Amino acid sequence: MKATTKLRELLGGDGIVAAPGAYDCLTARIIEREGFPAVYMTGAGTSISRIGYPDLGLATASEMLANAGAIAASVGVPVIADADTGYGDVLNVQRTVRQYEQAGVAAMHLEDQAFPKRCGHLDDKQVVPADDMVRKIRAAVEARTDDDFVIIARTDALAVTGWDDTMRRAEAYVRAGADMLFVEAIRTPEQAEALPGMFGVPLVYNYVETGKSPLLPVDELSRMGYKLVIYPVSALLTVTRVVTDVVRALRIEGSTAHLVDDHMVSLVECFEVAGLTHMLATDARFAGAEA
């Protein structure tokens, strides 16, 4: 089954789809290995891990696409990918859609921030006129060659122009053909409760530790009616702390031996995340075959 079709089936089923955020192939493999049905490619994580910059719109389309393609190729579950603002106007958006499809991504989200965009949980964002975003969504829908490829419209207007404008934008984006809605930086449980069911399409909830939105449990989000919850920076924030602690210990104590048992997997365990046993078995099978 195609990844796009698999994701459509997941979203059409009961309950909610939880998709932890991966910033590289290792984190994507871990997420799949732990039994999650989908992976979310985080734009913030891509920016920090691949080019060493904060999420301020500095990652280019080609850099985001390369990471999305690598992650999609490394796992068997659907990948939902951040596509920022589409990297330009309608022609750029159409190219982005085609390239994300070709890379094996199952869904992508476009946002209505003005360029240069920034992380949705930072202050001082700006949004483009709603009509500009409507044109981008229409262009994205027209560009896809796989009808199961999911187009998610994200609006950052809540923190910029307020609730009423956010509602108007959401309705306009659905009319333009968006398959799902993503209202960024929801501020209260009451706002979160009010949104599902209002627009006739499934909603995404963005669970960002230390961000603007309430950290609602997945069961509660499912009860409210959300169909997808993403955890874009859970792994990223944790790895930043853990690696900092490890290299600090190495600098101060001159050794990491005391961390091995409680803080590290073995080298073989690490390789197993990427399929060591299966790949060695394949190599051995071909080594024993006749030329």
Q: Structural domain boundaries of the chain?
A: 3-239, 256-291
Q: Over the chain (291 residues), what is each successive 10-residue block's mean pLDDT?
A: 97 97 98 98 97 96 98 98 97 98 98 94 96 98 98 98 98 98 97 95 97 97 98 98 96 96 94 95 85 56
At residue 21, φ and ψ (nearest 5 deg) are: -90, 130
Positions annotated as catalytic residues are 40, 55, 82, 84, 109, 111, 119, 154, 184, 206
The pLDDT value given to residue 289: 66
Contact by Cβ (8 Å): 47, 54: yes
Q: What does the alpha-carbon distance between residue 50 and residue 165 come to, in Å, rounded to a whole number?
A: 35
CA angle 87, 89, 123 (to 5 degrees): 60
The pLDDT value given to residue 291: 56
Q: Given the structure tokens 């600098």, which residue do they identify? A: 251
Q: What does the alpha-carbon distance between residue 207 and residue 216 come to, in Å, rounded to a whole number?
A: 8
The pLDDT value given to residue 269: 96
Task: Spell out the alpha helix ranges (H) of the chain.
Answer: 3-12, 25-33, 43-46, 61-74, 90-102, 130-143, 163-175, 189-194, 218-224, 234-253, 260-263, 267-273, 276-287
The pLDDT value given to residue 288: 75
Assigned CATH topology for domain 3-239 = TIM Barrel (3.20.20)
